[in-house]
Structure 1
């Protein structure tokens, strides 16, 4: 996303990168000169107080769209209420198949021949929001959770870049999901 957003032809810009802990994405943002912030979940007594601080950080940056990618926590309802439907997330499965934190492992355990990647609007459920984009990824003989996840990640990234483009150019109108 950071690479795509640097192109003059790409219709969106990244204003900040945030995380709930130290993460590779923060260093990546620094390489691109993008400001970043961390709101450590473990520093707060409750999900709601963590959400209040996260919401305060987001308000400072005034994003038109909040993109989650790799955040493995449910957002507090007050944050979802303020930004929805302009919050999207990637998921390493072809939703509604295999929602939750272990979509890749669950697909392998189910013995299916394909899974996928999805981009959804975030709601208050676990991977239950409206699906904006998705693509199938075959499961190959001998795949492990790690090898399959590595093949899904580039598909997630491509879908995310295209979905943000489609939102920015109004090909996807998030108002439809209010």
Structure 2
């Protein structure tokens, strides 16, 4: 049975497009049940509609507070009955009360090697810190900003002469396959979240799964 995905995105939706393309190509056993955004002008919603999928803007400014917005957003998500919620460039914090009932059913992709450089402007911060390695992480979502258990990572070198734009572009080429491969593992039932952390193939993982540039996970 295909993994039912709900996608949250605030921007251009490149990760959503990669998911849709993989499903169409038959390389990801999943279906996207809809896309949701906190911005009415998000390109991700256009991509979803172009693919014939439900696409909704649920804007925070239309609600009295974050709790009311979260309630409306996740009420709509629940109606679509997803197996997994994918935050793919979703830029809002989500309340702990909403997340508590969805532990292990919500993931996020973040452009750094967590726990390093949580939050925004990760590429410039990596350069400012003199990092020699950077990358992306997929993690379970918790109430702590970018602090949930990490499932998988892809690493890239920081090269001499890099600026934030060049480093961002290099990370992005690894970010997309990282997300897809993680979704394949979840769809196959090989990755699950337990009270003591991420389990892979029934055993507690020693650390994040690592994705090299030219291979899929072994």
For the aligned pair, the TM-score class normalised by the smaller chain equals over 0.9
TM-score by length of structure 1 reads 0.93
1:13 to 11, 20, 31: 31
- Counterpart check, 1:61 vs 2:43: no
Structure 1: distance between partners of 2:68 and 2:101 = 15
User: Match of 1:165?
Assistant: 184
Structure 2: distance between partners of 1:28 and 1:56 = 23
- Counterpart check, 1:93 vs 2:112: yes
- Counterpart check, 1:139 vs 2:158: yes
Residue 77 of structure 1 and its aligned partner are, at CA, apart by 1.6
**Contiguous gaps of at least 5 residues in structure 2:** 1-18, 199-218
The number of residues matched between the two structures is 178
- Counterpart check, 1:33 vs 2:33: no
**Contiguous gaps of at least 5 residues in structure 1:** none
Residue 19 of structure 1 and its aligned partner are, at CA, apart by 0.7
Structure 1: distance between partners of 2:58 and 2:191 = 30
- Counterpart check, 1:4 vs 2:22: yes
TM-score by length of structure 2 reads 0.77
Select the structure that is richer in helix.
1
Q: 1:105 to 1:43 in 2, by over 3 A?
A: farther
Select the structure that is richer in strand.
2
User: Match of 1:154?
Assistant: 173
Residue 9 of structure 1 and its aligned partner are, at CA, apart by 4.5
Structure 1: distance between partners of 2:175 and 2:27 = 21
What is the CA RMSD across the aligned residues, in angstroms? 1.6
Q: Is the 8 A contact 1:15 1:35 kept in 2?
A: yes
TM superposition outliers: structure 1 runs of 4+ over 4 Å: 175-178
